[in-house]
Amino acid sequence: MPTIKIPTPLRKFTAEKAEIEVGGATVGEALTAADAVHPGLLAKILDDEGKIRRFINVYAGDEDVRFLDGLQTAVGTKDEISIIPAIAGGAA
């Protein structure tokens, strides 16, 4: 089963677990499965339109899924999905 790494601010939804194992063949399915066990988690990751929130990144391995197939990105049983707050900014 894929593993999802949970950032510190969202661990209140996972009983403080830093990583959880879930089912699912895509990133979206894995996140939905995680939300079924840990209600409230998904709403922190996706906006009302079902898109990944701007200040959240979902990585499959070392790549942001925005550069892959988004929530449709396929994941294998040994893959690692990381939810990581964004590091960004800029002048003005």
Partner 1 sequence: MPFARDPAQLVERYGRQLLVLGADFDGQQRLHHLAAVFGADASPVAQAAAEVAARYLVGAGLGRAVAPSAWSAGLVEQDRALRLLDDPALADPPVAQFWFAVRPYGASVDVALTDAGPGWQAGATGPARVATLRLDLGAPAEAGDAVTLGALAADLIVQDALALEPLPALVNVDWRDPTAPAVAKVPRATEGSGPTAPAWAPGLLAEWRGSPEAVAVVVAECQARYPLEACGLLLRDAGGALIATAAPNLQDRYHAIDPAAYPRTARTAYKLNERLIAKAADAGQTLVGIWHSHCDAGAYFSGEDVRCAAPNDQPLYPGVAYLVCSVVGGRLAGIRMYHWDEVRLAFAAELDATTAAPVQEQSQD
> Please, are residues 32 and 24 in contact by the beta-carbon 8 Å criterion?
yes
49 binds partner 1 (CB under 8 A): no
67 binds partner 1 (CB under 8 A): yes
Residue-level length of the chain: 92
Q: Segment contacting partner 1 (CB under 8 A): 14-22, 27-35, 37-45, 59-67?
A: 59-67
Q: Segment contacting partner 1 (CB under 8 A): 20-28, 33-41, 53-61, 71-79?
A: 53-61
Count CA atoms within 13 Å of residue 35 on its CB side: 13
Tell which one of 9, 23, 39, 40 touches partner 1 (CB under 8 A).
9
Provide the 10 A C-beta neighbour count for residue 58.
Answer: 24
DSSP strand pairing (56-60 vs 3-5): unpaired
Provide the minimum distance between the beta carbon of 8 and partner 1 in the complex, in angstroms, as a whole number: 8
User: How far, in Å, CA of 58 to CA of 65, rounded?
Assistant: 6
Q: Which residues are near partner 1 by CB under 8 A?
A: 5, 8-9, 54-55, 57, 59, 62, 64, 66-67, 82, 84-92
